[in-house]
Amino acid sequence: MTAGASASSVGVVSPQTMHFEEPLALTSGAQLAQYDVRYETYGTLNAEHSNAVLVAHALNASHHVAGTYAEQPRSTGWWDNMVGPGKPIDTRHFFVIGVNNVGSCFGSTGPMSMNPATGKPYGAAFPVVTVEDWVNVQSRLADSLGIHRFAAVVGGSLGGMQALSWAIRYPQRIAHCVAIATTPKLSAQNIAFNDVARSAIQSDPDFHGGDYYAHSVVPRRGLRVARMIGHITYLSGDDMTERFGRSLRTRDYAFGYGAEFEVESYLRYQGEKFSEYFDANTYLLITRALDYFDPAREHDGDLVRALAPALARFLLISFTTDWRFAPERGREIVAALIANGREVSYSEIDAPHGHDAFLLDDPRYHHLMAAYFERIAAELA
Amino acid sequence: MTAGASASSVGVVSPQTMHFEEPLALTSGAQLAQYDVRYETYGTLNAEHSNAVLVAHALNASHHVAGTYAEQPRSTGWWDNMVGPGKPIDTRHFFVIGVNNVGSCFGSTGPMSMNPATGKPYGAAFPVVTVEDWVNVQSRLADSLGIHRFAAVVGGSLGGMQALSWAIRYPQRIAHCVAIATTPKLSAQNIAFNDVARSAIQSDPDFHGGDYYAHSVVPRRGLRVARMIGHITYLSGDDMTERFGRSLRTRDYAFGYGAEFEVESYLRYQGEKFSEYFDANTYLLITRALDYFDPAREHDGDLVRALAPALARFLLISFTTDWRFAPERGREIVAALIANGREVSYSEIDAPHGHDAFLLDDPRYHHLMAAYFERIAAELA
């Protein structure tokens, strides 16, 4: 806990669901006739409705950002170290919303949901959605909650892309954009890692072209491998050396092909755990949303022009050992914002934990976030 | 071609096979009762038997280092740009031997070979072999060919590990050790990538615990994914950006999960091609040999002590963009050799192509190799 001795949890929370009947036109040209959005809120919306903070999630997270569920003590939200009373995003000042994106597998409409056109799960029929589609859905949720303008939209990694997209698409509706460990677009290597993960899932015989629900199976083998690949890219090489090195679980080499190095055992365990709760179609969908994100694309690759509509003030944070979305990628965004005359704070934090650093409570990172959000809170007073 | 206008191919070559009846005691404690070793030679052994150069292969290569096979014009050896008349390892001066390691799938005894104890392919029963085991086999081959001392043992990546092991195990039998793009041991991240690849193979239902030969199937899905993962680590991120960027094969986003980015198409093709010719058990075995290589291990991690027996002169080469075995890893070897008072030449070549650079004909790299081998040739004269 880094943000003061008084920091504590938001406590027991409950998710809510908002149903939308108005069709959603997607970037792809397809549409969702109707859909649910699962979300959680922490703190209290003020009378002016000016203190709302939207938290956008990354690949495998959800609307469950902070607190725990009743009688599930291990159900702590994925960013509980960041959001709560006395924490950097302080729920004594802010009304914080966590939202599960459409296409995900944690309660919002996605591939596992019933397709009203067929009466069966969507499966492979669920349309490909983009970061821009998610931001549109989030804006409808904001409308329904009576929030015209967010004090801040904040996210790390894929969540940071959503924050950037908010600043571009709804410039009047976002005072601050906080984008952490993110990039203006994936590199060829980033796409390559995503595609290997997708290939592992797609080639699992239990995938059945995406319609595995009908076969009462899950492509767990593919999901395991996909997660193992992803996990390697979330950690820095030095961090892996520090944590695991070449340590063995056995006294000596076992001369076999099982998990005998600690790092193998750790990765296989991560893959196993992930395959127990995550949906394979959602994995395809979310990695594709990552691949497609590229706001400069419709401006001939010019990120300055892509960011020209933005009016928000920005906080960008990168981590030195993040080789997935390296600081160079964050600086591209900063440079484009400065070229547009926007107000930008930028910090490169020398943290050892690679891309995953955005989820951890490094004191410098948390102090920076706390200071920035204190300033936002002061503007509201 | 970088080594002069007169450089040319060794021409049509034929592999040979040496059969060994004397059992081979392996590092694991197991033994091979008898085995074949496939090899090729280029150039002529001089009267003193002093001009032999052994080329050790890396993960997916073989004894077929240079030249082509009769009536197979596309069968060029994997290091044909390096070995030949007028090339850096000049076959007008040297008698070059390419050797296929035991456990591989290109003619030396391996998991696909008949197990004399059962009359069936070894499959999962083939023992795990190590870099040290390979070097022992290579020394027996050298004995059989009448070569007491190599002018040089040379290799890149896993081949470089074999060259280092030669210098340690048979110090009197190697005048020069040329180790390229290599490391004294894999890092946790290196092992992690290997284990994901192995997991992809092992979890393919067609793997059958390694005994797929009996089922007349091949775990191609797993092999494809394994190769895709490996391939990403052979290229530099910048090189991938340069070659593929975010280019699409389609005019616009296809909003699906097929190979629509050029980089996806390239990787899937590489995976497909690999799965057509490479044996899955060999993939497990060779990646495990990589994991296990760690000559300092039996000296409490002290590489200086591990390299103390070496008497050879050394050429070490690293490539700046190689993030698999980065220059820092090469420098560890250099420092340990210098601490032992060995004569070491070291070059860090600023090549864009990542780990794969050791196979490519970058002029600076080839000029360096040519100069070093000219010096060796001069010593022979």
Q: Which residues of B touch A246 (CB under 8 A)?
A: 185-186, 188, 191, 294
* CA distance, residue A120 to nearest chain B CA (Å): 21
Q: Which residues of A touch B196 (CB under 8 A)?
A: 225, 228-229, 232, 267
Identify the pLDDT of residue A2.
44
Q: 3-state class of A255 per DSSP?
A: coil
DSSP element (H, E) containing B11: none
> Would the CB atoms of B257 and A30 count as touching at under 8 Å?
no
Q: Which residues of A are catalytic?
A: 157, 322, 355
Least CB–CB distance from B189: residue in A28, A128, A237: A237
Contacts of B187 (CB under 8 A, 6+ apart): A237, A240, A241, B329
> Would the CB atoms of B229 and A284 count as touching at under 8 Å?
no
> Would the CB atoms of A259 and B228 count as touching at under 8 Å?
no
> Would the CB atoms of B294 and A246 count as touching at under 8 Å?
yes
Q: Which residues of B touch A202 (CB under 8 A)?
A: 257
Q: Which residues of B are catalytic?
A: 157, 322, 355
Q: Which residue of A has its CA nearest to B190?
A: A237
- How many contacts, defined by CB atoms under 8 Å, are there between A and B? 142
Contacts of A115 (CB under 8 A, 6+ apart): A121, A122, A125, A126
Token pair 């090469």 in the structure block, residue: B330
Q: Are A255 and A261 in contact (CB under 8 A)?
A: no
Digitized pLDDT (tens) for each residue of chain A, 381 residues in all: 344 456 899 999 999 999 999 999 999 999 999 999 999 999 999 999 999 999 999 999 999 999 999 999 899 999 999 999 999 999 999 999 999 999 999 999 999 999 999 999 999 999 999 999 999 999 999 999 999 999 999 999 999 999 999 999 999 999 999 999 999 999 999 999 999 999 999 999 999 999 999 999 999 999 999 999 999 999 999 999 999 999 999 889 999 999 999 999 999 999 999 999 999 999 999 999 999 999 999 999 999 999 999 999 999 999 999 999 999 999 999 999 999 999 999 999 999 999 999 999 999 999 999 999 999 999 998
- CB burial of A164-174 (b: ≥16 within 10 Å; e: otherwise) equals bbbbbbbeebb
* CA distance, residue B271 to nearest chain A CA (Å): 10
Interface with A, mutate which of B27, B32, B130, B196 (most A CBs under 10 A): B196
Where helices occur in B31-157 by DSSP H, the ranges are 131-144
Least CB–CB distance from A196: residue in B199, B267, B288: B267
> Would the CB atoms of A268 and B195 count as touching at under 8 Å?
yes
Contacts of A90 (CB under 8 A, 6+ apart): A3, A84, A370, A373, A374, A377
Report the Cα B185 to chain-centroid distance in Å: 15
Q: Are B80 and B114 in contact (CB under 8 A)?
A: no
What's the start-to-end Cα distance of chain A, in Å? 26
pTM score, whole prediction: 0.96
> Would the CB atoms of B192 and A294 count as touching at under 8 Å?
no
CA gap A213, A215 in Å, rounded: 5
* CA distance, residue A200 to nearest chain B CA (Å): 6
> Would the CB atoms of B189 and A267 count as touching at under 8 Å?
no
DSSP element (H, E) containing A16: strand A16-20
Q: Which residue of B has its CA nearest to A128?
A: B255
> Would the CB atoms of A229 and B264 count as touching at under 8 Å?
no
CA gap B188, B294 in Å, rounded: 13
Q: Write out pLDDT tens, residues B286-332.
A: 999 999 999 999 999 999 999 999 999 999 999 999 999 999 999 99
> Would the CB atoms of A237 and B203 count as touching at under 8 Å?
no
Q: Which residues of A touch B294 (CB under 8 A)?
A: 246
Q: Which residue of B has its CA nearest to A255?
A: B128
- Which residues are paired to B154 by β-bridges? B55, B178
Q: Which residues of A touch B292 (CB under 8 A)?
A: 253
Identify the pLDDT of residue B225.
98
Listed residue (A63, A281, A307, A302) closest to A161, CA to CA: A307
Q: 3-state class of B215 per DSSP?
A: helix
Interface with B, mutate which of A27, A132, A196, A250 (most B CBs under 10 A): A196
* CA distance, residue A269 to nearest chain B CA (Å): 12
What's the start-to-end Cα distance of chain B, in Å? 26
Give the sheet arrangement for strand A313-319, strand by strand: A16-20, A35-42, A95-99, A52-56, A150-156, A174-180, A313-319, A344-349
Q: Which residues of A touch B259 (CB under 8 A)?
A: 195
Q: Which residues of A touch B263 (CB under 8 A)?
A: 188, 191-192, 195
CA angle A229-B278-B324, nearest 5°? Answer: 40
Q: What does the mean pLDDT of chain B come to?
A: 96
* CA distance, residue A176 to nearest chain B CA (Å): 30
Digitized pLDDT (tens) for each residue of chain B, 381 residues in all: 344 456 899 999 999 999 999 999 999 999 999 999 999 999 999 999 999 999 999 999 999 999 999 999 899 999 999 999 999 999 999 999 999 999 999 999 999 999 999 999 999 999 999 999 999 999 999 999 999 999 999 999 999 999 999 999 999 999 999 999 999 999 999 999 999 999 999 999 999 999 999 999 999 999 999 999 999 999 999 999 999 999 999 889 999 999 999 999 999 999 999 999 999 999 999 999 999 999 999 999 999 999 999 999 999 999 999 999 999 999 999 999 999 999 999 999 999 999 999 999 999 999 999 999 999 999 998
> Would the CB atoms of A257 and B202 count as touching at under 8 Å?
yes
> Would the CB atoms of A263 and B29 count as touching at under 8 Å?
no
Identify the pLDDT of residue A1.
39
